[in-house]
Structure 1
Amino acid sequence: MLGGAVDLDVAFIGVGCNRVVGAIAWGPCNLVAFAAHHSVAVFDPKLARVLTTLQGHKDLVNCVEWIPKHGIGNSGETGAEKFLLSGGADGGIFVWAYLPSENEWRVAKEVPGAHDKAVTCIAGCQLSANETLVASTSSDGTVRVWHASVPKQAGGACEFTMLQSISVGTKVMVAVTLSPLPSSSSSYLIAVGGLDNHVYLYVGCTTGQFKQVCQLKGHQDWIRALDFSCPVKDESGLAVFLASSAQDRMIRMWKICAKRGSSPDVNITTQPSLRMYIEGPVFKADGNSWQVSLESLLVGHEDWVYSVVWQPPQHVDTDGIPLQSMCVLSASMDRTMMIWKPDFKSGIWMNVVTVGELGHTALGFYGAAWGPQGNAILAHGYSGSLHMWAKIGDDWIPQLVPSGHSAPVVDLSWGKLDRYLLSASHDQTTRLFACWERDGDEAGLRPSWHEIARPQVHGHDFNCLAVVKGPGNHCYVSGADEKVARVFEAPGAFLDSLNTFTGLADADGFKREDVQIIGANMSALGLSQKPIYTQGAARRDVGNAELSGDPMMEELPEAKPMILTEPPLEEHLAHNTLWPETHKLYGHGNELFAMCCNNGGQLLATACKAQTMNVAEIWLWYVNSWRVAGRLQSHTLTVTQLEFSPDNLFLLSVSRDRHFTVFQLKQSGTGEEEVQHKLLARVDAHKRIIWACSWSPCSRFFATGSRDRSVKIWELSENGDGNFQVKLITALPLFKCSVTALAWAPFTASQKSYLLAVGKEDGTLEVWRGFVTPSADAATSEKYPQETRKLDMSFCSRVERFLCHGATIHRLRWRDLSTSVTQKQGDQQSGLEISKDLERLQLASCGADHTVRIYDVHIS
């Protein structure tokens, strides 16, 4: 291909966990899988990095489970494929296969109609090296039993066959677990629990035909988690323990073993008696009588207990039976995880370890998991955050984990000098990601991306943001579902931390000592963030809260900003890395929807949701004084995106009214007078809503993308008398879905070629290349030969399935690394020489799948 190929490799994926119970699983291959929007995200705990997102579900993923669940006692080659189950709100079940030697994932089996409604829980029990018994629960009122046969050779076919569908009525079951019946080679136990507060036991064989044998009563609220232990030897032979947790804040430990002595035949329909209540129910299975007794009641959590899981076995006995450690982990909405063990002498179960998050923004844990070696624990929280502790010596120490948004990410922008990436989301936070430049030659210590600050935690969903890239302090403006734009400036603690992380210093004469604010405090209502000054924290004003005693208006704890030498943990991020709010910009009549700042950092343009021309006007603001610089009218409906040209002379806007407009701007420079503007073009460009626009680096071409599945490229040319005109010069072939994001790469390669990134509604990302050639009449145009050209666009690259977005891409932003490298090395190359360093590019993207992604772009 002329000009070389373009390859994109993912360098970073930031995403949070879905807000559902049981959405996380830690496999024997030491990889963690968790539900992330419609995908399953997989991350490596050693690197604290999300490796990939497995896409296939059509709705939210609700549950994940590794098969086998534990690595001890399972035969098979270490280089064989590993398998992962996932169930979604679309009713489908996927079997994913992972080949560690090639670091490749594939869909081993897809069962799109596994249930009629959402799958709420899924669990497996290994029968042999290549066979697994699987049970799934659903809100359709059924529990279904499956036989999964995984291939012996990598890349083979996987069979997933339904053995039985058990109707449980109108009370939805939300928890399920399986276990072999102790001392039996053919019978298996299934325990299910749900919204009727009872635990039901079923017994059957590998061909199905599971029958309910008893129900366990005692919980006073919904059952949220169930987990069987491995078979345990006791005085009566082999027994299996069932741990159950519920919204009554209790954990119950049930023991299932063969009933001692002779016992008459029992019938599950026998009327309950006082003796049965004391000893527990008895059922008949596999030719024996089995006793279920309440072993212990664990009381310690102060809120709903959403998860309980047994510690994975680490050894096997002489018979090959895994040796189960009598230790369970629980997670609760009271923001704590607890490890429980029976006392060696009395046998009473005790809480031996308690860890948790104490931040005021924490709203509890939705699930927990053990590491395969049993020396690490992991939880996911209400806000999508992950929390991990590892046992080091006798202490449990918090560990670094990936982080990200838990709702659609609507906008992002590279920060000043492209040193970090800032994103805004409907989860009501803005997050700041930077590359951690670690020193050391050990494996895994290469530079990696992490969230290092959470500048804004708001009370409304965000719609847009704009970074001010001019000289001075780091600054950005955000727009949310409110009529005011808010301005934030970086505090001193962040500036010191950023220099530590990136090893770069500002090169525009900005002085750190001029910043007297070291951090910010959250307000009680989550709207304004108050500064903390170097000489002491500002007094918090909580209005009438002190008089009213309203618990919702309690004064929040003071933040403690500090200089970071490594990526912070969730508790520090949510509370101690806020930026102070410095200004509010009033004027718009509706919720803000789009904004941008020019490349010199002098002007800010904002627009809001609108259905009339007056409301749809674009406001211009002087950045140095935050005064209104002008109001531009042209659109009749909401402006969806704004962008200044790289030379700052033009402002491009696209709208729901299917038009784009180009304004020519002339700034007086006084900062007080209105910016002179002239409407150069208002074009009915597409048949549907125009979602995206982008200027080429030469400020002469721009592209528009629309719901009509088209991308059109326009040229802005001067006609000789000082006037400009816009004309369509080319259009890309129609795509299969709406085009929602566009971005031209920030280099021109001596004005001969361009790169255009195209993001679409289905989450796919493509890169197209354009080559400039003179048109037929170029030779006759002597005065403006550079304005008469032809742009030939050709397809270059498409991001592979598991590395691209799983839903609509909302924004694309390029980063030119050449400038950063030059500053760090002190190189004095010319701008033209830097622009030819085509291999120093990165592309950032965000989307409705809750992810922020950064791609390394390789041009050959």
Structure 2
Amino acid sequence: MASSVGDGGVEVERVFIGAGCNRIVNNVSWGPSGMVAFGAQNAVAIFCPENAQILTTLPGHKAVVNCTQWLPTSKDAFKVQDLQMHHLLSGSADGVIMVWEVHLKQREWRHVLQVPEMHKKGVTCLTGMMTSHTVAIFASSSSDGIVLVWEMVLPSIAGGDCKVSCLESLSVGSKPMVTLSLAELPGDAGCTGDLVLAMGGLDQKIHLYCGDQTGKFVRACELKGHTDWIRSLDFSLPVCLENENRPLFLVSSSQDRSIRIWKIMAHVSSAISELPYKKEDIGLTSYIEGPVFVIRSACYQVSLESLLVGHEDWVYSAEWQPPLMLNGSEYHQPMSILSASMDKTMMIWRPERTTGIWVNVVTVGELSHSALGFYGGHWAPDGESILAHSYGGSFHMWRNTGTDSENWQLKKVPSGHFASVSDIAWARSGEYLLSVSHDQTTRIFAPWRNEICLGSKASWHEIARPQVHGHDINCVAIIQGAGNHRFVSGADEKVARVFEAPLSFLKSLNYAIFQKSSCIDDFQEGVQILGANMSALGLSQKPIYVHAVNEACSRLHNDMSDSLETIPDAVPTVLTEPPVEEQLAWHTLWPESHKLYGHGNELFSLCCDHEGKLVASSCKSQSAAVAEIWLWQVGSWKAVGRLQAHSLTVTQMEFSHDDSFLLSVSRDRQFSVFSVKKSGEGASHQLIAKQEAHKRIIWACSWNPFGHEFATGSRDKTVKIWAIEDGSSVKQLMTLPQFRDSVTALSWAGRDAACNAGLLAVGMDNGLIELWSLSSGRPTTGCGSELLPFTAVLAVRFDPFLCHISTVHRLAWRNLDDGDSRVLQLASCGADHCVRVFELHCC
């Protein structure tokens, strides 16, 4: 768990990262260390399958991460079992390849180097192998039609220099390659040291190139048979078979829905005249036995071993099970292949013992209504777990829990958004964190108290997905005040929607927080809605009442049809452990209670007052008439006010902590302060201040919890502190030193009410976060009678490894029940698809 300590006596510790996987085929790699690497927008994320937690994100790429590759791989880890440092390759959409180093015991990460930029377009695939403890050969393919072969000399000690050099550049024509696999060719006594590189792509052929470890590769042959793009290639290790000379197997999968297994066999004699058939032979024998190629003094023949047909859609990946260690350095290559398809299934294929015919022995994932197809499947290093990543940016993992026979059961995995996260909000008492995203979902993350990991802290998980929408969601506000848990969200559809927690969530929350909360028990009384169903068009979520749950169960079992008109009913259940993706996507919806109509454009910002009586909303705008702020009365949901002050989009709003003022900031570079007075029938409002505060767009604002001071942050890289005087005017108190990038998020937390001291969290366009210690000189008994100047001191600048990779969209402090101002929690979300929670220890 990474941390950083600032000069202001504040220590920052990362508690949680939630992120989805980039929806790209070669994006995931499961290494022999047990860690899984994947691309999350421009970052490389690392997660541990054992505790289902994302350990870290690695910053550096300037474009979307397309592919990752561990060195050593699970396939060749037996060669270098005593390595204390593993390396990770990552390639991005701008043609950049980076190398990372991890020290396995300390779990410390280091950016080693950026490979010389030779690709002109995005990197599509990486493959590699260790040839010794300190030397690796890897290859990269790109949309520019070039395949490069590299040699990497690894350091012998942690922190040492790593050298990468390009050995070969192979031009493959106008149709680029999208998948690669590299292996050593088998010989009479095992491996010969000669390498074979297989590549496949848009021309529907498999190209084999052979070379040695100096990197001089020559074309060997082409393998034909697939009738659509080839999406995956994977070499096995040489296999011990009776009466055969340790052949090498290559598995290929294609968008033609088929999988082919090719056998590469070394011939005893290299005399061309003794080959089993002549080149002019084009009959069935030549098709099955395939081409022959010669590399130096060795001769090899390729034959089609098997054609596997079973998937009903594109097969995006096929992968050999990693070798099993027998004793010492000896290995056994299992004859077992894992395939993943857009038909929502993964299959394990093995040859029958008696006939040798390859058959599908395990199928998982076919009952998922939410996966929308798998982009790739991967084996665990021990072969006892399999992992898929899907169109929805989610992971799906099964583990074999059987003893005498196989029994593959779903296991917990990390989850998160797969598009920009636009807004977050804490529950009233901080029990959970709510986030909304342009991936059109709303998600709830919470610590699961009976799952202790990382020392004495509870592990965080996604525990519900209240809203699955048909539009990008831009903003959210938790409705404060007494009563059931409710929130209002705004999306690109111009309508704000109100959701209320169902009974199944309230009971599940009790398990999550691992304690009986009296307030939650009170909420459960009178709640007759158990959960919600998704409508056919994917917009409204209809309630499922408690008395109707049995009917829903019976309908689910009796009617398994799945079309646009008939969506299977959800069966909300009380969760006693963190849910898996299938449960989240279908059975944790919240019912929608109201729609708020009125805005003419896409919703952009929402906020709720602290009493839970008013909600303010704004939308995208380029005119004063559309830029007005609407006030809604909670409960009746009537529009009780239309506040006019701005001429462009209002980017953020916030009520003061005593609810007497509403602050708004806008793209028109101005802030406005309204006085708001609530009455029984609604609210009255008055504009008391309006000022052009910055030279560029104002993105963020935040109130001092202890008074009527507030902060504004702008694209002009400044943060300014203001104060309301006499309830009728605004005075600028100070400007913080200029920041390194545009300020896009602010959140002010109180620490000491007596001295009006607090912490201001500042998020920037480059993803970095800083904390500033603020204190002002209101005359109080605790700090003397004289008015002291307002001061701001940098408390801590977060380590880049802790921070977001791109724009920070929102920061929010958690309300902790224990009231210990020395321990605070800060949540953040950003354009890098991540939701993050930090814990701060203040001296």
Provide the TM-score with structure 1 as the length reference. 0.92
Question: Deviations 1:356-377 (Å, cap 9, x if unpaired)?
Answer: 1523222110011111111111
Question: Deviations 1:22-78 (Å, cap 9, x if unpaired)?
Answer: 211111111111111111110111111000001111111111111110276635574
In structure 1, the partner of 2:831 is 848
Question: Conserved in 1, the CA contact under 8 Å of 2:650 and 2:667?
Answer: yes
Question: Deviations 1:508-535 (Å, cap 9, x if unpaired)?
Answer: 9944121000000001111100000011
In structure 2, the partner of 1:826 is none
Q: Give the 5 Å matches for 1:133-212.
A: 133-183=137-187, 184-212=191-219
Count of matched residue pairs: 819
Deviation at 1:552, TM superposition (A): 5.4
In structure 1, the partner of 2:731 is 727
Q: Give the 5 Å matches for 1:390-539.
A: 390-393=399-402, 394-438=406-450, 446-502=457-513, 503-507=515-519, 510-536=522-548
Question: Conserved in 1, the CA contact under 8 Å of 2:532 and 2:590?
Answer: yes
Q: What is the letter of the counterpart of residue 799 of structure 1?
A: F
Aligned with residue 19 of structure 2, among 10, 15, 18: 15
Deviation at 1:236, TM superposition (A): 3.3
Deviation at 1:748, TM superposition (A): 3.3
Q: What is the letter of the counterpart of residue 248 of structure 2?
A: V
Q: Give the 5 Å matches for 1:327-338.
A: 327-338=336-347
SS in 1 for 2:450: coil
Gaps of 5+ in 2: 553-560
Distance 1:242 1:78 in 2: 28
In structure 1, the partner of 2:29 is 25
Deviation at 1:699, TM superposition (A): 3.0
Question: Conserved in 2, the CA contact under 8 Å of 1:252 and 1:298?
Answer: yes
Distance 1:24 1:733 in 2: 41
Question: Conserved in 1, the CA contact under 8 Å of 2:6 and 2:795?
Answer: no
Identify if the C-alpha distance between structure 1 residues 697 and 149 changes in structure 2 by more than 3 Å, giving closer, same or farther. same
Q: Give the 5 Å matches for 1:692-703.
A: 692-703=700-711
Deviation at 1:504, TM superposition (A): 4.7
Deviation at 1:2, TM superposition (A): 12
Deviation at 1:288, TM superposition (A): 2.0
TM-align CA RMSD = 2.4
Identify if the C-alpha distance between structure 1 residues 286 and 236 changes in structure 2 by more than 3 Å, giving closer, same or farther. farther
Distance 1:786 1:270 in 2: 101
Aligned with residue 590 of structure 2, among 579, 587, 612: 579
SS in 2 for 1:438: strand
Q: What is the letter of the counterpart of residue 574 of structure 1?
A: A
Question: Deviations 1:662-718 (Å, cap 9, x if unpaired)?
Answer: 0011111x1x24x21111111100111000000011132111111111111111121
Distance 2:7 2:175 in 1: 63
Identify if the C-alpha distance between structure 1 residues 655 and 307 changes in structure 2 by more than 3 Å, giving closer, same or farther. same
Identify if the C-alpha distance between structure 1 residues 786 and 185 changes in structure 2 by more than 3 Å, giving closer, same or farther. farther
Deviation at 1:563, TM superposition (A): 0.8
Distance 1:608 1:327 in 2: 55
Question: Deviations 1:755-810 (Å, cap 9, x if unpaired)?
Answer: 00000000001101113246xxx89xx9xx99965211111112212221001000
Question: Conserved in 1, the CA contact under 8 Å of 2:463 and 2:584?
Answer: yes
Question: Conserved in 2, the CA contact under 8 Å of 1:214 and 1:268?
Answer: no
Identify if the C-alpha distance between structure 1 residues 424 and 514 changes in structure 2 by more than 3 Å, giving closer, same or farther. same
In structure 2, the partner of 1:620 is 631
In structure 1, the partner of 2:808 is 809
SS in 1 for 2:192: coil
Question: Conserved in 1, the CA contact under 8 Å of 2:777 and 2:787?
Answer: no
Deviation at 1:572, TM superposition (A): 0.7
Q: Are residues 1:326 and 2:338 paired?
A: no
Distance 1:445 1:469 in 2: 31
In structure 2, the partner of 1:371 is 380
Provide the TM-score with structure 2 as the length reference. 0.94
Distance 2:77 2:589 in 1: 48
SS in 1 for 2:413: coil
SS in 1 for 2:533: strand
In structure 2, the partner of 1:309 is 319
Q: What is the letter of the counterpart of residue 803 of structure 1?
A: L
Question: Conserved in 1, the CA contact under 8 Å of 2:706 and 2:753?
Answer: no
Q: Give the 5 Å matches for 1:38-57.
A: 38-57=42-61
SS in 1 for 2:754: coil
Question: Conserved in 1, the CA contact under 8 Å of 2:665 and 2:698?
Answer: yes
Question: Deviations 1:141-177 (Å, cap 9, x if unpaired)?
Answer: 0000000111110111111111011001110100000
Distance 1:272 1:729 in 2: 89
Greater displacement, 645-654 / 550-559:
550-559
In structure 2, the partner of 1:109 is 113
Distance 1:76 1:46 in 2: 23
Question: Conserved in 1, the CA contact under 8 Å of 2:506 and 2:520?
Answer: no
Question: Conserved in 2, the CA contact under 8 Å of 1:47 and 1:444?
Answer: no
In structure 1, the partner of 2:287 is 277
Greater displacement, 697-706 / 357-366:
357-366
Question: Conserved in 2, the CA contact under 8 Å of 1:79 and 1:99?
Answer: no
Q: Are residues 1:214 and 2:226 paired?
A: no
Distance 1:807 1:555 in 2: 40
Aligned with residue 272 of structure 2, among 264, 277, 293: 264
SS in 2 for 1:858: strand
Q: Are residues 1:227 and 2:228 paired?
A: no
Question: Conserved in 1, the CA contact under 8 Å of 2:761 and 2:772?
Answer: yes
Question: Conserved in 1, the CA contact under 8 Å of 2:767 and 2:830?
Answer: yes
Q: Give the 5 Å matches for 1:54-65.
A: 54-65=58-69
Gaps of 5+ in 1: 541-549, 822-833
Question: Conserved in 2, the CA contact under 8 Å of 1:357 and 1:571?
Answer: no
In structure 2, the partner of 1:678 is 686
Deviation at 1:816, TM superposition (A): 2.9
Identify if the C-alpha distance between structure 1 residues 60 and 852 changes in structure 2 by more than 3 Å, giving closer, same or farther. same
Deviation at 1:588, TM superposition (A): 0.7
Aligned with residue 559 of structure 1, among 563, 570, 575: 570
Q: What is the letter of the counterpart of residue 493 of structure 1?
A: S
Deviation at 1:259, TM superposition (A): 3.0
Greater displacement, 653-662 / 179-188:
179-188
Identify if the C-alpha distance between structure 1 residues 362 and 443 changes in structure 2 by more than 3 Å, giving closer, same or farther. closer
In structure 2, the partner of 1:607 is 618
Question: Conserved in 1, the CA contact under 8 Å of 2:758 and 2:773?
Answer: yes
Q: Give the 5 Å matches for 1:587-602.
A: 587-602=598-613
Deviation at 1:501, TM superposition (A): 1.0
Distance 1:63 1:285 in 2: 31
Aligned with residue 241 of structure 1, among 249, 252, 255: 249
Identify if the C-alpha distance between structure 1 residues 72 and 677 changes in structure 2 by more than 3 Å, giving closer, same or farther. same
Q: Are residues 1:287 and 2:264 paired?
A: no
Distance 1:534 1:353 in 2: 37
Question: Deviations 1:793-834 (Å, cap 9, x if unpaired)?
Answer: 1111122122210010000000131x2x4xxxxxxxxxxxx4
Question: Conserved in 1, the CA contact under 8 Å of 2:600 and 2:626?
Answer: yes
SS in 2 for 1:535: helix
Deviation at 1:82, TM superposition (A): 1.1
Q: What is the letter of the counterpart of residue 601 of structure 1?
A: G
Identify if the C-alpha distance between structure 1 residues 761 and 292 changes in structure 2 by more than 3 Å, giving closer, same or farther. same
SS in 1 for 2:510: helix
Identify if the C-alpha distance between structure 1 residues 269 and 162 changes in structure 2 by more than 3 Å, giving closer, same or farther. farther
Question: Deviations 1:539-592 (Å, cap 9, x if unpaired)?
Answer: 99xxxxxxxxx9852210010001111111101100000000000001111111
Question: Conserved in 1, the CA contact under 8 Å of 2:196 and 2:208?
Answer: yes
Distance 1:117 1:271 in 2: 40
SS in 2 for 1:41: strand
Identify if the C-alpha distance between structure 1 residues 566 and 2 changes in structure 2 by more than 3 Å, giving closer, same or farther. closer
